[in-house]
Amino acid sequence: MAEYELLDHTADTGFRVCGASLEQLFIRAAEALVDIAVDSSRGQARERRTVRCSGPTVEDRLVNWLNEVLWLLDGERFLPAVIEELALEGESVRAIVCGEPRDDARHRPRIVVKAATFHQLVIREHNGMWEAEVFLDI
Protein backbone atom coordinates (compact mmCIF):
# COMPACT_ATOMS: atom_id res chain seq x y z
CA MET A 1 0.00 0.00 0.00
CA ALA A 2 1.59 3.24 -1.14
CA GLU A 3 1.94 5.83 1.65
CA TYR A 4 1.91 9.37 0.35
CA GLU A 5 0.05 12.65 0.49
CA LEU A 6 -1.13 14.38 -2.68
CA LEU A 7 -0.03 18.00 -3.15
CA ASP A 8 -1.92 20.66 -5.06
CA HIS A 9 -0.55 22.13 -8.27
CA THR A 10 -2.62 24.10 -10.78
CA ALA A 11 -1.57 22.16 -13.85
CA ASP A 12 -0.25 18.88 -12.57
CA THR A 13 0.13 16.79 -9.45
CA GLY A 14 2.58 16.31 -6.63
CA PHE A 15 3.12 14.07 -3.65
CA ARG A 16 4.83 14.14 -0.27
CA VAL A 17 6.48 10.99 1.12
CA CYS A 18 8.44 10.22 4.30
CA GLY A 19 10.97 7.55 5.17
CA ALA A 20 13.12 6.46 8.08
CA SER A 21 16.09 6.43 5.69
CA LEU A 22 16.92 7.95 2.33
CA GLU A 23 16.56 4.48 0.80
CA GLN A 24 13.05 4.09 2.21
CA LEU A 25 12.22 7.58 0.96
CA PHE A 26 13.24 6.58 -2.57
CA ILE A 27 11.15 3.39 -2.35
CA ARG A 28 8.07 5.25 -1.08
CA ALA A 29 8.42 7.89 -3.79
CA ALA A 30 8.45 5.15 -6.44
CA GLU A 31 5.40 3.50 -4.87
CA ALA A 32 3.57 6.84 -4.91
CA LEU A 33 4.40 7.40 -8.58
CA VAL A 34 3.14 3.92 -9.53
CA ASP A 35 -0.05 4.37 -7.48
CA ILE A 36 -0.82 7.72 -9.15
CA ALA A 37 -0.44 6.16 -12.61
CA VAL A 38 -2.01 2.72 -12.11
CA ASP A 39 -4.13 0.79 -9.62
CA SER A 40 -1.39 -1.62 -8.59
CA SER A 41 -3.31 -3.31 -5.74
CA ARG A 42 -3.53 -6.55 -7.73
CA GLY A 43 0.07 -6.43 -8.97
CA GLN A 44 2.11 -9.55 -8.35
CA ALA A 45 5.86 -10.03 -7.94
CA ARG A 46 6.46 -12.54 -10.73
CA GLU A 47 9.59 -11.11 -12.38
CA ARG A 48 12.66 -9.22 -11.17
CA ARG A 49 14.23 -6.22 -12.86
CA THR A 50 17.43 -4.48 -11.84
CA VAL A 51 17.32 -0.70 -12.19
CA ARG A 52 20.43 1.46 -12.12
CA CYS A 53 20.82 5.20 -12.45
CA SER A 54 22.99 7.98 -11.11
CA GLY A 55 23.10 11.71 -10.53
CA PRO A 56 25.45 14.31 -9.09
CA THR A 57 23.05 15.45 -6.33
CA VAL A 58 20.45 13.67 -4.22
CA GLU A 59 17.76 15.63 -6.12
CA ASP A 60 19.12 14.36 -9.45
CA ARG A 61 19.22 10.82 -8.10
CA LEU A 62 15.61 10.93 -6.90
CA VAL A 63 14.27 12.44 -10.15
CA ASN A 64 16.35 10.06 -12.29
CA TRP A 65 15.23 7.07 -10.21
CA LEU A 66 11.56 8.04 -10.58
CA ASN A 67 11.98 8.52 -14.31
CA GLU A 68 13.53 5.02 -14.46
CA VAL A 69 10.44 3.64 -12.70
CA LEU A 70 8.29 5.58 -15.18
CA TRP A 71 10.25 4.00 -18.02
CA LEU A 72 9.42 0.54 -16.60
CA LEU A 73 5.74 1.50 -16.48
CA ASP A 74 5.35 3.32 -19.77
CA GLY A 75 8.26 2.05 -21.88
CA GLU A 76 8.60 -1.57 -20.80
CA ARG A 77 4.93 -1.91 -19.80
CA PHE A 78 6.04 -3.52 -16.54
CA LEU A 79 4.14 -2.98 -13.30
CA PRO A 80 6.44 -2.70 -10.27
CA ALA A 81 4.65 -4.46 -7.39
CA VAL A 82 7.43 -4.61 -4.78
CA ILE A 83 10.77 -2.86 -4.58
CA GLU A 84 12.81 -5.65 -3.04
CA GLU A 85 15.92 -3.68 -2.32
CA LEU A 86 17.36 -0.28 -3.04
CA ALA A 87 20.94 0.80 -2.43
CA LEU A 88 22.35 4.33 -2.60
CA GLU A 89 26.12 4.39 -2.99
CA GLY A 90 27.90 7.61 -3.85
CA GLU A 91 26.23 9.03 -6.95
CA SER A 92 24.50 5.79 -7.94
CA VAL A 93 21.14 4.17 -7.28
CA ARG A 94 20.65 0.42 -7.67
CA ALA A 95 17.35 -1.32 -7.06
CA ILE A 96 15.69 -4.67 -7.57
CA VAL A 97 12.10 -4.22 -8.64
CA CYS A 98 9.66 -7.14 -8.67
CA GLY A 99 6.46 -7.06 -10.65
CA GLU A 100 4.72 -8.33 -13.75
CA PRO A 101 3.81 -7.24 -17.27
CA ARG A 102 1.05 -4.64 -17.21
CA ASP A 103 -2.44 -5.97 -17.80
CA ASP A 104 -4.98 -3.15 -18.03
CA ALA A 105 -7.82 -5.45 -17.02
CA ARG A 106 -6.19 -6.17 -13.65
CA HIS A 107 -4.11 -3.02 -13.23
CA ARG A 108 -6.55 -0.23 -14.04
CA PRO A 109 -4.72 2.74 -15.58
CA ARG A 110 -5.40 5.99 -13.77
CA ILE A 111 -3.49 8.67 -15.65
CA VAL A 112 -0.49 8.98 -17.94
CA VAL A 113 2.43 10.49 -16.05
CA LYS A 114 4.74 12.30 -18.45
CA ALA A 115 7.71 12.76 -16.12
CA ALA A 116 9.01 13.36 -12.61
CA THR A 117 10.32 16.93 -12.51
CA PHE A 118 12.70 19.16 -10.56
CA HIS A 119 9.91 21.70 -10.11
CA GLN A 120 9.61 22.69 -6.41
CA LEU A 121 11.47 19.48 -5.56
CA VAL A 122 12.29 19.27 -1.87
CA ILE A 123 14.28 16.60 -0.03
CA ARG A 124 14.94 17.23 3.66
CA GLU A 125 15.91 15.43 6.85
CA HIS A 126 14.47 16.26 10.23
CA ASN A 127 15.24 14.31 13.40
CA GLY A 128 16.36 11.28 11.42
CA MET A 129 13.22 11.24 9.22
CA TRP A 130 13.46 12.01 5.53
CA GLU A 131 10.78 13.81 3.60
CA ALA A 132 10.43 14.59 -0.10
CA GLU A 133 8.00 16.61 -2.20
CA VAL A 134 7.92 15.74 -5.88
CA PHE A 135 5.82 17.16 -8.71
CA LEU A 136 4.87 15.08 -11.73
CA ASP A 137 3.99 16.37 -15.16
CA ILE A 138 0.62 14.91 -16.09
Partner 1 sequence: MPIEHVDEVRHRIPKGARHGMRTDVLFYASGSILEQVEKDRALEQAMNVACLPGIVGPSLAMPDIHQGYGFPIGGVAAMDWDSGVVSPGGVGYDINCGVRLIRTNLEQDEVRARLKELVDQVFRDVPCGVGGKGHLDITEKQLNQVLEQGAGWMVEHGYGEPSDIEHCEEHGCLAAASAGEVSARAKERGRPQIGTLGSGNHFLEIQFVHRVYDEEAARCFGLHEGQVVVLIHSGSRGLGHQVCTDFLAQMGAAMKKYGITLPDRQLACVPIQSPEGQSYLKAMRAAANFAWANRQAMLHFVRGSFQKVFGRRAQLALIYDVCHNIAKREKYEYQGRTVDVLVHRKGATRAFPPRHPEIPAGYRAVGQPVLIPGSMGTASWVLAGCEGAIEESFGSVCHGAGRLLSRHAAKHGRDARAVQRELEQHGILVRSETRDGIIEEVPEAYKDVDEVIEVVHQAGLARKVARLRPMGVIKG
Enumerate binding residues for partner 1 (CB under 8 A): 6-13, 38, 56, 59-60, 64, 67, 71, 74-75, 102, 104, 107-112, 114-115, 117-119, 121, 135, 137-138
Closer of 79 and 86 to partner 1 (Cβ): 79
Residue 55 has phi, psi (to 5 degrees) of -175, 150
Closer of 9 and 49 to partner 1 (Cβ): 9
Closest contact distance (angstroms) between CB of 85 and partner 1 is: 24
Closest contact distance (angstroms) between CB of 119 and partner 1 is: 4
Query: Whose CA is closest to 16, among 137, 107, 136, 138?
Result: 136
Give bridge partners of residue 95 from the DSSP assignment: 51, 86
How many other CB atoms are found less than 10 A from the CB of residue 78? 19
DSSP type of residue 36: H
Closer of 24 and 137 to partner 1 (Cβ): 137
Closer of 20 and 109 to partner 1 (Cβ): 109
Closest contact distance (angstroms) between CB of 74 and partner 1 is: 5
Closest contact distance (angstroms) between CB of 9 and partner 1 is: 5
Q: What is the DSSP string of 66-90?
A: HHHHHIIIIIS-EEEEEEEEEEEET
- 95 within 8 A of 28, measured Cβ to Cβ: no
